[in-house]
Amino acid sequence: MLKLLSPANREVLFMGNEAIARGALEAGVNVASGYPGTPSSEIIESLATVGKERNLYVEWSTNEKVALEVAAAASFAGLRSLCAMKQNGVNVASDFLLHLASSGTRGGIVLVTCEDPGALSSVNEGDSRYFARMLEIPLLEPANFQEAKDLTRWAFELSEEIRNIVVLRSVTRMSHASGNVICGKLPVKFRKAHFVYDGSIMDPLRGHVISTPVVAKHSLQQGKLKRATVLFENSPFNDYSGPKKPELLLITSSACFLYSREAIDMLNLQKRTGILKMDCTWPLPPKLLKKHLNSTDKIMIVEEVLPFLEENLKTLAAGMGKEIGIKTFYGKMDGTLPSVGELNPDVVAAALAKIMKVKHKSLPAAYTKELQKAAALIPARELTFCPGCPHRASFWNIHNAIALDGREGFVCGDIGCYAMGALFPATGYHTTPTLHSMGSGTGLASGFAKLAAFGFDKPILTVCGDSTFYHAVIPALINAQHNRADITFIVLDNSGTAMTGFQPHPGLTVSAMGELVPSVDIAGICKAIGANVAISDPFDLDGTCKILNSFVADKGSLNVLIMRQICALSPEKKGKKIFDVKVNEALCLGESCGCNRLCTRIFRCPALIWDRSKKKAVVDEVICAGCGVCYSICPQKAIIRTEAEKK
C-alpha cells in the first residue's frame, strides 16, 4: 500500500511535501494543479500517484497562473482544490490571484507556495508572504511535519469559512525535510461539482464570480480577512512554550521555529526564554500578541527571508503602545539576524547568546586547529553538467558557432539546468551573460536584437528548455517575429521537466496521472509563428554546428533550432550507455599535444579526468554515461568509442 494512503493513527515518515499532500487528501481535495519547481514539486507528484484511488483530478499545468485558474474553477463549482508552486510561481500567478481574492471563492482552495531561503535550488530567494498582505488573503506557515499535514487540512476549512483563497507557505527545510507524522482519517464521501450563478451579484454562493462592483466587493473581502483574524486569535496552531515571564520572547514561524528551539537547547536557555510559534502569520491576531508582548520587554523575531513578521508585529505594537509600553525588538531590521540567506540553529544561537550574554560551549582549541589544517586540503566542488548531459554538448556547439562568427555574439540564458551555462566553472566555454526568470531569455534577446540602430550589431542567441517553452516563452517568441527581432532561438529539448524530476509537460503524450494525452509540437508552434525551424541532435557536433553557423550569420529572420537529446538522468536513459568510451594512451599526446588539454581543461566532463602521473586524459568508467561526445572533440582522435552492449 502507498504510504500516502496509510490508515488513520499510523505513524509514518513524511517529507514536508508529502505531509502537505496527505493533509489535502484528509481534507477531501478534489482537484490539484501546479507547475514543477524546487522545492514544491513532490506535492503534485505524490497526489498524482493516488489520483485514481482518491477520486482526484491532478494536472501539471503549463504555468502557475493557468494552474491557479484550473484550481479556482473547481472551487467555483463547490469542490476543494489545491494549487502548488515555488516562490517565483506566485509572481506568475499573481495577476489572477489578485482578481480571485477580490471575486472570492466557494469550495475550499489553498495556494501552497514552497520557498527557497538561501536559493539552494533557485536563482532568487523571493519571499512571497508579502502577496498575502498586499492581496488581503490569509497566510499560514507550518512549523513542523505534523503541522504541514494538519495545517493544510485546516486551510481548506478556513477557506470555506471565509469564502476566499488561503495561502500556505513552506520552505525548503520543511518541504524537503522529513519527519514523523501521525495520519488522520481519509474521507469516504466525495463531492459533486455544481456551479450556480443565478443569485444577486453580492451573493458569495449564488452570484456571478467577479470582482465588480469593485469597492463593494473589496469591502466584502476585508470582512473575510477580519473573520480570519478572529479565528486566528484562538487557533491551537499558534502556541507558546516557555516560562510565564520570559526575559526574552522569540516570535517565530516555519522552519525557524525548529532552529529557535534547537538554539535555546544549545545554550540551555529553556528557563529564561520562551517561544511563541506563529502558524497564522497574516493577518496577525492582535489580542494574542498583546498578551504575549505584555509578558516581557524584549522580543526577538526569527524568520526567513524578509522581516515580514517583524514589520507586521511592530505595526501592531505601535498601535498598542499605551497598553503594552515600549519594547525592545531584535530581528533583521536592527541587524541582530542576517537580512539575507537562510538561517540555521547556529545563526539563531549566536544572536541569542549575544542578547542573553551567555557563551556557547566550543570545541577544544587543538581540535579546531586540526580541522582548520584539514580544510586547506579540500578542493571546492562546483556545480557542473552531469556526465552525458546534452547541455554540455549544446553549449559547446553554441560557443563554437559564436566564436566562428567572430562578432562577439552571446546567449540570453533561461531557467533550467542549462542555467549553469551562465555559471563559472560549469564549463570552460562561456556564452551566457544574462539569466533571469522563466521565458525572459527570449524577451531579452528580442530587445537586444533591436539595438542595432544604436550601434550594437552582434548576433543575439537565446536558449530555453522544452518545459520552459510552454511556460512563458511563446509570447516573447511571437514578439520577436512580429517586431522583426533578428535572433537565433534554441530549444534545449531533453524530453521532460528535467531539473525538478521529469514531470511531464505539453510536449509529451502522458499526463501527470499517467493518462495518454495529445502532445503539442514545439516545431509546429514555431513554424506557425513564422520562424525558420531546424532540428538537430546536439551530440552530432558536425551536423549541429553547420545549422548554427548558418543561423547566426543569417539576417532578417527568426531562426529556431531545436536541439533534441534526452536528459542523461531520465529514467529511460539512466545507466544505459550509447558508447563504451576510453582513451587510447598511445594516441593521447598529453601536454605536448598542442590542444592545451581541451578535453579536461575546457570540456569539463566529470568522467573525463586528467591522470597527473601519466599526464594523459583517462575516462573514469564508473562515472562515464557513455554519450561519446568527447570522441568528437579530441583533435588527436585519442578518445575511442565503441557501441555499448545493450543491457
Partner 1 sequence: MKVRLSKDSMNVIITGVGGQGNVLASRVLAGMLVNAGYYVTIGETFGMSQRGGSVMSHVRISQKAIRSPQMPLGSADIIIALEPVEALRVLIKYGNPDVAVLSNSRVVYPIGVITGELNYPSLTEIQNVLQKTTAKNWLLDATEDAVKLGNPVLSNIIMIGALSATDLLPIDRRSFEKEIAKNMTADKLRINMLAFDAGAKLI
Q: Which of residues 228-267 bind partner 1 (CB under 8 A)?
A: 255, 258-259, 261-262, 266
Q: How far is the CB of 149 from partner 1 (least distance, A)?
A: 13
- Residue 609's contacts (CB-CB under 8 Å, 6 or more residues apart) are 600, 617, 618, 619, 620
Three-state SS string over 120-162 comes to CCCCCCCCCHHHHHHHCCCEECCCCHHHHHHHHHHHHHHHHHH
Three-class DSSP category at 267: coil
Identified binder of partner 1 from the candidate list 185, 381, 555, 646, rule CB under 8 A:
381
Which x/- pattern, by CB under 8 A, does the window 275-314 give for partner 1? ----------------------------------------
Q: Is 622 in the site for partner 1 (CB under 8 A)?
A: yes
Among 365, 378, 453, 586, contact with partner 1 (rule: CB under 8 A) = 378
* Residue 566 binding partner 1, by CB under 8 A: no
Site for partner 1 in 390-419 (CB under 8 A): 417, 419
Distance CA 205, CA 103 (A): 11
**Could you say whether residue 575 binds partner 1 (CB under 8 A)?**
yes
| 516 near partner 1, judged by CB under 8 A | no
586528467: which residue's cell? 610
Footprint of partner 1 on 50-69 (CB under 8 A): none
Torsion 304-310-313-315 (CA) sign = negative
Q: Which is nearer to partner 1, 527 or 601 (CB)?
A: 601
Query: Residue for cell digits 530555453?
Result: 464
Asked if 112 interacts with partner 1 (CB under 8 A), we say: no
Verify binding: residue 500, partner 1, rule CB under 8 A. Answer: yes
In the complex with partner 1, the residue whose CB is nearer, 100 or 569, is: 569
With respect to partner 1, which residue has the nearer C-beta, 132 or 250? 250
* Closer CB to partner 1, 393 or 499, in the complex: 499
Give dist(CA 484, CA 456) in Å, integer.
Answer: 16
Determine the Cα angle at 305 with ends 299 and 307, to 5°: 40
Q: Give the x-and-dash track for 325-364 against partner 1 (CB under 8 A).
A: -------------------xxx--x------------xxx
Least distance in Å: CB of 138 to partner 1?
25
**Residues sharing a CB contact under 8 Å with residue 95, sequence separation 6 or more, in sequence order:** 65
**Does the protein bind partner 1 through residue 616 (CB under 8 A)?**
no
Site for partner 1 in 12-31 (CB under 8 A): 12-13
Nearer to partner 1, 197 or 367 (CB): 367
| Spatial contact of 481 and 531, defined as CB atoms under 8 Å apart | yes
Rg for the chain, CA atoms, rounded? 28
Question: Is 81 among the residues that bind partner 1 (CB under 8 A)?
Answer: no
Phi, psi of 545 (to 5 degrees): -65, -40
Q: Least distance from C-beta 115 to partner 1, angstroms?
A: 13
Q: What is the DSSP letter of 472?
A: I
365 part of the interface to partner 1, by CB under 8 A: no
Task: Classify the phi-psi angles of 5: left when phi > 0, otherwise alpha if psi is within -120 to 50, otherwise beta.
Answer: alpha
Q: Please say which residue, 372 or 592, places its beta carbon nearer to partner 1.
A: 372
Map the footprint of partner 1 across residues 132-151, applying CB under 8 A.
144-146
Q: Is the bond preceding residue 7 a cis peptide, omega within 30 degrees?
A: no
Residue list 149-208, contact with partner 1 (CB under 8 A): 172-174, 176-180
Query: Is residue 579 involved in binding partner 1 (CB under 8 A)?
Result: no
Q: Which member of 188, 318, 377, 516 binds partner 1 (CB under 8 A)? A: 377
Does residue 583 interact with partner 1 by CB under 8 A?
no
Contact call for residue 384 and partner 1 (CB under 8 A): yes
Q: Is 455 in the site for partner 1 (CB under 8 A)?
A: no
Asked if 437 is part of the footprint of partner 1 (rule: CB under 8 A), the reply reads no
Q: Which is nearer to partner 1, 18 or 310 (CB)?
A: 18
464-478 per-residue burial string, b: 16 or more CB within 10 A, e: under 16: bbbbbbbbbbbebbb
Which of positions 414-433 make contact with partner 1 (CB under 8 A)? 417, 419-420, 425-426, 428
Contacts 24+ apart (CB under 8 A), 290-296: 290/316, 290/320, 290/323, 290/324, 292/240, 292/249, 292/251, 293/249, 293/317, 293/320, 293/324, 293/327, 294/323, 294/324, 295/244, 295/245, 295/246, 295/249, 296/245, 296/246, 296/247, 296/248, 296/249
Grid cell of 446 as nine digits? 528580442
Residue 240 to residue 507: CA distance in whole angstroms: 50
Minimum separation from the CB atom of position 176 to partner 1 (A)? 6
Q: Which range of residues in 17-25, 76-84, 383-391, 449-457 is near partner 1 by CB under 8 A?
A: 383-391
Q: Cα separation of 261 and 276, whole Å? A: 11
Q: Please work out the total of residues on this chain that contact partner 1, with binding judged by CB under 8 A.
A: 71
90 counts as binding partner 1 under rule CB under 8 A: no
Q: Does 545 bind partner 1 (CB under 8 A)?
A: no
Residue 614 lies near partner 1 (rule: CB under 8 A) = no
Q: Which residues contact 67 (CB under 8 A, 6 or more apart)?
A: 33, 34, 35, 59, 61, 83, 84, 85, 89, 93
Residue 639 binds to partner 1 (criterion: CB under 8 A): no
Distance CA 281, CA 352 (A): 22
Q: Is 606 among the residues that bind partner 1 (CB under 8 A)?
A: yes
Who contacts 504 (Cβ-Cβ below 8 Å, separation ≥6)?
60, 496, 497, 510, 511, 512
User: Does residue 492 bind partner 1 (CB under 8 A)?
Assistant: no
